[in-house]
Amino acid sequence: MGLESIVAFWKQQQEVDSKWIHPDDASVLFHSRWTHSFNLDFPAGPYIGVILGAPVVILGANAGYSPISTAEEFEPKGSRETYLAQIASTSKRWTQVSPYYRQKKYGQQLMAGHVAVVNACAYRSPEIGRNQTIIGHLPSVWNTRLWLWRDLLPLAEAGERLIVAWRYGLWVERNEERDALQALKGVVCTYPRSPDISD
């Protein structure tokens, strides 16, 4: 499969009834059984930056949402098309990055292609707490976890990537997985988590 599998997967996201989702998640997101606070009005954010080439990969939790800054990010003409093209690209540096990431201490490194951030859950919400239950049932989350263990972590073990496990609670299902992640060569776990990973 390889690292490219995450790009191939998220190329498939689409707008369904004005909601941006991956089609594999439709039966969960639109089922009355599950409640969530995801804002699906904008394209999902599975990763930010050159995910296939960045030597440093930061594990995040989920794509954030702000009614002001997210709307501003996607307000300019062509911004959605640019963003979706970045998600679908395997090598190009990102030119459209939200202010949230540009203001981070690693923002310049992200823009330069040296750092990438990948979210366990690609859907946008202002906070993750209300969505813990549904996240465990989303096929896209399971796909991203599989990508981490099958495709990314072996590169860290081989010394080809540095993985910074910043918000990694959603990446592991059991304590055994957490312990295995923390013990891997090429993985740095930031615990307790700092507001800014580079603190």
- Tell me the C-alpha distance between 108 and 25, whole Å: 33
164 located within any domain:
yes
197: in domain? no
| Number of domains, the chain | 1
pLDDT of 104: 84
Could you tell me if residue 160 is inside a domain? yes
Judge whether 196 lies within some domain.
no
3-state secondary structure of 89: coil
Query: What's the rounded Cα separation, in Å, for the pair 129 and 66?
Result: 16
Q: Which tokens belong to 80?
A: 């959605």
Given this model, what pLDDT does residue 58 score?
Answer: 93
In tens, the pLDDT along 20-62 reads 999 999 999 998 788 899 999 999 999 999 999 999 999 999 9
pLDDT at 33: 84
Q: Which residues of the chain have pLDDT under 70?
A: 191-199
State the pLDDT at residue 99: 80
DSSP reduced 3-state for 166: coil
pLDDT at 129: 83
- For residue 9, give the 3-state DSSP assignment: helix
This prediction has a pTM of: 0.89
In a domain, 144, yes or no: yes
Which domain, by its residues, includes 108? 4-189
